[in-house]
Every structure is written in C-alpha cells, then in structure tokens.
Structure 1
C-alpha cells in the first residue's frame, strides 16, 4: 500500500498509538512499528485488514479482519485468545485520539489506491436491519425460532467439545477456584432446585431447557420435569438422554415456544440463560406468562446475564459482533430493571444474587476445553466458526471480569392472597445451602 505519495501501515498505526506502547507491528508493506521485544506482536497480512477497518471502524471491522486472517497475533491460541485480549486492554493508556487532519490523511492514503469492499466471513449472519427487511421482526415466535436455531443447531458434538459431559451452557457455581467444571455445574443445578424447594411428585417447567441437564437432575430427585426449547438438536439430545437414564415417566423435553405450553399450575419454573433471547421490552409480558403458569405459592427461579450499567442512549441490546455472529436479537437489561419487571408482574421477589465472578471462571473452563478439543471442533463446524466461538467466550470472560456484564439469579414467589395464617408459605430466611 505504500508509495511515494502515501503512508506506510506503520505510519498509520503511529497516528493512533503512542511509540511507547508495548506493541510490535509487522506489515505486508515491509514497514514496522515498535520494538521487536514488545510483548504484543501483530502481523498485518494484507490490505484487506485496512479496508475492513476503514469500512467498519468498529468491532465488526476488527472481527472480520481477525476471522479471515487479514491480521494475526503472534502466539495466539484461537480457541482461547483471552491472554491476547488482556494485552490489548493493557494498551489502553497508549491509544491516541487522532486529529481530524490525521483521519483525513489516513483516508486519503487508503483511497489513493482505489478503495475496494472487503470480503465478509461466511459465518457472519445478517444484520438486525437485514433480518427485519426479510420479515423477521425481533422476538416474534418465528424470529425467535430462527435465531435460536442459528445459535444452537450447529452440532451437539461441537458443544460437547467445550461444555464437557454436563452439556450445561450456563454459568456454573464454584465453591472455590479449584473446583472443576463438572462439579461446579452440578452445584449450580443443585442450588437452583434447592431454591425452588421442590419435592418428589411436584412439577417443574424448565423454559429454554438446552440439552436437558436440569430436567434430568430434577427427575433424578423424583420431580416431574418438563423442558421446552426451540432447538431441534437440543431436544433430540435431551430425549435420548432421558431414555438412557430411564426417566421417561418423570422427564419430557419438547420443541415448543414457552408461549405455547398448554399446562398450568406448575409448582416451580426455572428460566436459566433464556432471558437473553426474550428482549428487554418483552420482560414484563414474559414474567406475566410465568405468573399464569405457576400455581399459587409456586416459585420462579430466573438466572440470566445482565448489563452492569444502562446504555448511554437508554436502549437495551447487545453489541454488533454478538448480534451478527452469536446471539441474533440478544438483549440485556440491568438487574434493577429486571427485578422491577418481576415485581410488577405480580411476584414477590424474595432473593437475588450476582454470580459475575462465577461466569468468568466458567468461560475460562470452556475456552480451555475448546483448546483441548480444537481439532474436533474444527471438524464439526469449520475453522472460522470455531475461531469465532473462541473469541466470543474469551471476550465474555474478560467482560465479566471488567464488570461490563454480570449474571443474576432472582427467586420469586407467586403470592396466594388467602394469606395462609398457618404459616404454610416459605421459611423465614433462605433455606438452601449457599
């Protein structure tokens, strides 16, 4: 890209990064930036890296260039790029704000070579606007079915590569940092069931049941458990698991939208990692549906990722990378807003807790598992998609650690207006082992 009238890649980098930065850049045009001894070593492999970022000067431009190999980082583990992401965070003090003249000079240098549209990775999904234009209005039953299928109907074997034997795709609960993932996931399921306080013979509805780990765990306790999911792959896996365990008389998993569940009077409902797909504007109606499904004095356990602070524009949502590559129409609300929605739907909220650190630990385990099973993961879904999942999980782990996102469990009770003067309500203080 360099010529007598233009600037080199290293000169462009210097417009945005201080020379004191712990960064080395080697570019395809032969130019370099920073000392060879720098701990972070980036290789810009071709002009597409520049075109991507000029066309989308945000995370999408960087992600596209990364996925397609337009730039690379020395020593990176594609299954677990967390250390590299941490190094980029450490670069923050060295980032410069370019002047308008600097931006104009970079743009002139790029366009002097004839700007061309950079390629889009095949694994990238349509933007929110493109989905709406095609008739998929966010959080309608049709849109939810397609977006859930986009994320989950990949390959059960691929998910097993990083989730491990529990096939539990939500935050684990660790007694300490040395606890292994399987025990921590079992501990999370135990904690939720203990909070719900269900007894043998009582009925549980698990909304967004995944591959069935909660349904199986509940049925092993003698609880009659129904799980619903919009993923055919997940339901097939769960149904086979139920048959292997011989729990057909207690456990069932259906491909069904929660809005279509015909049964009523459940003793307990759990929603574990489901609310991220519901849409913030639909929270109250979601909880109102749970209220109708429960019997009086029934309990709801809602376990979901939350955003730590409201967005500056006041609008909910997830970032563009997650929307296009991971969770189309994903949406996060603040914990205070969620608790208000539960309360305003008629529930008594009796307990909530923030498990933020536990999710960071969970994600580190998943990245480690993906690294251990990298070859099979690539076989299952292809190199680019496996690379996307490694980035997604490592970035989420970092975001939990930086307190950009959290995860909360809310325990609520559907009140019985009779009042029950005989005290048959629930214990005065938390009744479960933390």
Structure 2
C-alpha cells in the first residue's frame, strides 16, 4: 500500500488537501491550494514514535514534511479530519507502514528531535528558579530582534492587540491596547509605573510619551532590553522611561502608582502565583492598581502545562496557563480587590493572523536570519495558536485589581471610564 493510499483511506478521497510522497504516490484533491509533501520516510518515524501534534510538528520542523499553501487553513481543515478519525483508521495507518519495507526500516529507527526542541529537564520542583526562567525566556525571546521586527511590525508588541474597530490595522490595535491598559490603570502625569515582563518596552514608552508617567520596565531577555533602551533614547524619552535586563523579583524600588503585567503571568508557574501577586501588591501604594493581561484556559479541568506538547517543547518552555477564575482568586487572596475583567480571545486570533501574514511576507528573509527550522516553528506555532483562540481552546484575559487604602477606599470611579 502506498503512503498516499493510506492517507486517502484515513481522510477520504475528497479531502480538500493534496498529498504527495517520496514514493511518487498522490492522493486527496488534485491541484488543491493546500498540499502536503512527505519528503522522506523519516517523517513517518516521527509520526509513529510521537503520534499526534508533536509527531507532525517534528516532521515539519525537521524538513521531512513540507506544507504548501496557507498553514492556518491546512491546520483548520486537518484538525477537523483528524478529530473524526477512528481508532480503526489509525490502525490501518500502522498496517500500511508495516507493509512497506522502506517505511518499516525508517520507523524502526527512533530519530532525535529537531535541534529547535528544548529540554529544560523533567524535575518539576526546579521549574521557575531565576536561572531556569532566564534560560526559558532567552530560548523564546532572544531569537533575533530583526526577526521580531518583521513578524510584529513597528510596534514590537508581542502580546494580544485590542482592535477598536473591524477595519483597524495591527498598529492601531496595538496602540489601542497600550492605551486601554493605561486608562484602566488611571495613569496621569507624575505617576510611577512598573511594567514587569516589559518586552521591547512598548507599554513603558506609551506611558511615558502619552501620559507623562515615570515608567520602569524589566525583562529577562537581554536582547529585548538592549533594543528597548535604544528605542527609548531615539524617542527622546530617557528622562521618563527605562528598561532593565532584570528579573522582576529583583526590582528594589517600591511605592509605584500602578503595575502592568502584559504577557508575563504565563511564565510564572501555578505554584508561584501567590508570591507573584504578593510581590506586585507590595510594590504598590495604597490605591494603586494592577492590570494583569495574560493567556488563560477556558476552565481549570485540564493540567496547567502539557509537558510533552509542541508549545512547551518548542516555544514556551515551562509555560503554564490557568483559568481566569483561578487567577482572580489568587489576586483576591493576595489582597487585591478585583474591579474589572474582560476576555479578548477574538482579538488575539486577529493579532496572530496579522503576525502570520507578516512572517509569510518576509519568509525568505526570516529563513536567512534565523534558519528554516526556527522559522517553521514560528509559522506552525502562530497558526496553531490562532486556531486555538478561535475555537476557545485558549483565551486572553485582562484583570484589573486595586490595593485598597487603610479606609477601604479603592479610589476608583463609580463606573469604568476607560471606554469613554
């Protein structure tokens, strides 16, 4: 049985995908816009030894499997087909492998994962030490500032944008996101802001430039800090804004009027959430506000982290996601009064669609800059995440908390004023 024949039996002859294989076989919809090419029998080795998404990712990242056409559309179509695949169909796939001597020889060899796959260790109690967190952050963020400029666009904002209208551009949506955070925090001239996990300094510069705030940002990525400090100087904001290459736990200053955490909580770890929120609470003046913006799970029925999953192995080592209710409970128990929360998951799906388009527009340059394997990791990761937000596998929540003063006063407006 040819490889293409096995594929056809699994997904049906009318699948909106064309599959070609190294053995010359072909199946699916001929001349389809979406094409999968199995370049080597070693692709099947990855699929057999690491079934599911991880095996497909390894085959694609390693270059043994090629995708032609929009990878998001392919994932969308193939996810539906794979969801309907029966156990009997999967057994037929294995039977097809066993019948082919070349495939049988290939799958008998267990291949090493592609070099882009990170191994941070299996000892869970060592997760989220300062040293290990620094390595995990460096793996993801110290890729190439040039690469990020191509993917993220001029804002260099690597977090969910917030689209003020259907026709808003990515840059307009990122500006609106930073402005929304600033308004929720009630920023005014002369205030002091701490931005933890500040990335390339987008929030820090926005607060300084548009609100006259003294803003300090900290990041574990050396490349981010260097880029941000240069951008701050070029914008003439050095009197108000600063970004340091520093673990947030090592910030010595206190009495901030506001704290923003945009995309950091995913890296903290469930066990460390009480100390994380406690640390941020301690950095605030009475009446100070925290805006926590992070990816969340729809509920708390699944584990915080899929240790063997593609995201954890290739993108966010040691990343952990919690449900919004759990995060709000941890904030509340720390002392914060929760004043507002909202889910922006549709906005993140749109943001990722723009990032995917940017990467495709700069594909050859990106491959030359970071290597094809790393570029493939990003292409797959962003398209998959877009699908995840659309299908409500993951969400994005902003939660606003306030540190009450000694009289129990939140110093908040009677009604939210950031939508005005």
Aligning the two structures, in what range does the TM-score lie when normalised by the shorter sequence?
Answer: over 0.9
CA distance in 2, matches of 1:252, 1:42: 47
CA contact (8 A) 1:20 1:94 kept: no
> 1:157: how far off?
0.8
CA distance in 1, matches of 2:401, 2:149: 32
Give the number of equivalent residue pairs: 416
Tell me, yes or no, if structure 1 residue 354 matches structure 2 residue 346. no
CA contact (8 A) 2:10 2:89 kept: no
> 1:273: how far off?
0.5
1:166 aligned to which of 155, 170, 180: 155
CA contact (8 A) 1:162 1:366 kept: yes
CA contact (8 A) 1:317 1:329 kept: no
Structure 1 stretches lacking a partner, 5+ long: 1-6
Mean Cα deviation higher: 368-377 or 155-164: 368-377
CA distance in 2, matches of 1:370, 1:24: 24
CA distance in 2, matches of 1:361, 1:100: 34
CA distance in 1, matches of 2:289, 2:384: 34
CA distance in 2, matches of 1:366, 1:393: 8
Mean Cα deviation higher: 283-292 or 117-126: 117-126
* Matched residue, 2:52: 58
CA contact (8 A) 2:197 2:220 kept: yes
CA contact (8 A) 1:242 1:252 kept: yes
Q: Kindly tell me: are residues 85 and 343 of structure 1, through their superposed partners in 2, closer, same or farther at Cα, counting changes over 3 Å?
A: same
* Matched residue, 1:157: 146
CA distance in 2, matches of 1:103, 1:164: 42
Within 5 Å, which residues of 2 pair with 1:253-264?
253-264=243-254
Q: Secondary structure at the match of 2:411?
A: coil
Within 5 Å, which residues of 2 pair with 1:170-249?
170-220=159-209, 221-249=211-239
* Matched residue, 2:6: 12
* Matched residue, 1:3: none
CA contact (8 A) 1:16 1:98 kept: no
Tell me, yes or no, if structure 1 residue 33 matches structure 2 residue 27. yes
> 1:331: how far off?
0.8
Q: Deviations over 1:319-342 (max 9, x none)?
A: 611111111101110111111111
CA distance in 1, matches of 2:177, 2:377: 27
Q: Secondary structure at the match of 2:30?
A: coil
Structure 2 stretches lacking a partner, 5+ long: none
Within 5 Å, which residues of 2 pair with 1:417-432?
417-420=406-409, 425-432=411-418
CA contact (8 A) 2:22 2:38 kept: yes
> 1:89: how far off?
2.9
CA contact (8 A) 1:128 1:323 kept: no
Instruction: Output the TM-score relative to the length of structure 2.
Output: 0.92
CA distance in 1, matches of 2:381, 2:93: 30
* Matched residue, 1:4: none
CA distance in 1, matches of 2:21, 2:306: 36
* Matched residue, 1:250: 240
CA distance in 1, matches of 2:99, 2:407: 75
Mean Cα deviation higher: 281-290 or 94-103: 94-103
1:385 aligned to which of 374, 392, 395: 374
CA contact (8 A) 1:347 1:414 kept: yes
> 1:93: how far off?
6.4
CA contact (8 A) 1:15 1:96 kept: no
* Matched residue, 2:37: 43
- Superposition CA RMSD, Å: 2.3
CA contact (8 A) 1:16 1:95 kept: yes
Instruction: Output the TM-score relative to the length of structure 1.
Output: 0.89
> 1:38: how far off?
5.6
CA contact (8 A) 1:356 1:406 kept: yes
* Matched residue, 1:113: 105
Q: Kindly tell me: are residues 382 and 46 of structure 1, through their superposed partners in 2, closer, same or farther at Cα, counting changes over 3 Å?
A: same
Q: Secondary structure at the match of 1:168?
A: coil
CA distance in 1, matches of 2:268, 2:126: 13
Q: Kindly tell me: are residues 59 and 104 of structure 1, through their superposed partners in 2, closer, same or farther at Cα, counting changes over 3 Å?
A: closer
CA distance in 2, matches of 1:287, 1:34: 52
CA distance in 2, matches of 1:19, 1:395: 25
